[in-house]
A and B are shown apart, each in its own frame.
Chain A
């Protein structure tokens, strides 16, 4: 069987994706698990690039790899996780996990049989030479305007909620008031004192 260069790259990224996804759950160190998850995203974006969805692929790297996972890594690095305690319940959860996994595989295999997921459909949609970014923007802001805006509002609400959860009100702390510092004038900080010379000599003598 002849393997084209494109197929070679596809299988390379696919292998990378699957093996790094596997490593996320197999590796013991949680920081390394997060790093494998990042590799997962990168491999996915490689696969998306092959579908000529360049904007989505780069946005995946920008948003997930560049921002979300950095914060994730930040938090995981700070935690002190006890690995042996985390692994103790493994056999107990195993049956349930197996049921979920098998169910998920069945659902996925059903979905992927749908005609819109066929390879021919992907090949047909890429024939136009219209800019990927432009096409996506047009779709999002016309046909899918409401879902898009609703998603944005939900995100905003989540942000406000997160802030209000962690905000503990004003505490009586000393803090810098920068406006005040900038407004300071010479008369507030500097005091010129005239010293009476004869008086100061008297002090020295006594």
Chain B
């Protein structure tokens, strides 16, 4: 076997090892969401398929796969099919640079952070193309809303990441995590707390989740950009949305909560006692915390109005991030920085 072929096969195998758990995680995130929001609203949520409803996501997947794929008349055929694929592709591709433990990463590139930003920003094409190709007014409105929302919040998100970059002095995600080692107090969430909040909320807005789910807004524009999609087309949008949610949670954990580092680092006996726990466990635990927050947010807040979303993004988040970046430069340059 030639060398390049074995390389390609080896990488494909690694991709499989990332994507299969990811898809499973997506399936059970939908289950978790329905259960958690159910209990928050004094309901039980799905409890019929399998013990305690554990097989509900599997049943949903089978149902969606069995459904007919409907191509609306007057729709642009190729683009209509391409839309969901273009939405899903980047949200999976972004996982290539995520380190799950020290050295456990598919692509250890120096520009990892900017790669993530690029991937999250090109996902919007899936939405725009789907909305345009559907040849439906509701879908088109949804696409327009989504595009402007994603562009606006991308700026705040990018600036929040600039703060991380300044503290870590690197764009490599592994280096960013290692820079936070020491103890829980050296994690970036302490010096960068405002940026953490802004990053997380912008993440909610980027993934079009409640309370920023204007692009879907079922009370005004039915289901927004995916109103014309049925069966697998809809399933792909669904899959990508949840994959993006998990991605945002993992990124929050990596950049602000110390990634795979143990929270007991630097504490005399606990550190030695919990050495056997793999770093991936801590990463997933932190990511789950953030993911739970996302679900909680959905159960708590009503949908924003459109002008309120724009106001929050442009007039609150972006100024706050800029001010914080300027403050950070002073801190770092004047050596008042206790976090080196």
Contacts and interface: CB of A to CB of B under 8 A. Distances in A.
A133 B171 contact: yes
Interface in A95-123: none
B128 A70 contact: yes
Interface residues of A, number: 25
Given A54-B109, A58-B111, A38 B125 contact: yes
B87 to A, nearest CB: 14
B124 interface: yes
B269 interface: no
Interface residues of B, number: 27
Nearest to A66: B121
Contact of A131 (B110, B122, B148): B110
A54 B148 CA distance: 28
Interface in A30-67: 31-32, 35, 38, 54-55, 58-59, 61-62, 65-67
B114 A58 contact: yes
Contacts of A66: 117-118, 121-122, 124, 154
Contacts of A54: 109-111
Contacts of B150: 70
A70 B110 contact: no
A18 interface: no
Contacts of A61: 118, 122
B129 interface: yes
Given A35-B129, A70-B150, 5 more contacts: A54-B111, A67-B151, A73-B125, A74-B144, A74-B148
Interface of A: 4-5, 31-32, 35, 38, 54-55, 58-59, 61-62, 65-67, 70-71, 73-74, 77, 131-133, 176, 178
Interface of B: 2, 4, 79, 109-111, 114-115, 117-118, 121-122, 124-125, 128-129, 132, 140, 144, 147-148, 150-151, 154, 171, 307, 311
21 contacts: A5-B2, A31-B132, A32-B79, A38-B125, A54-B111, A58-B118, A59-B114, A59-B118, A62-B114, A62-B117, A62-B118, A65-B121, A66-B121, A67-B154, A70-B147, A70-B151, A73-B125, A73-B128, A132-B111, A133-B110, A133-B111
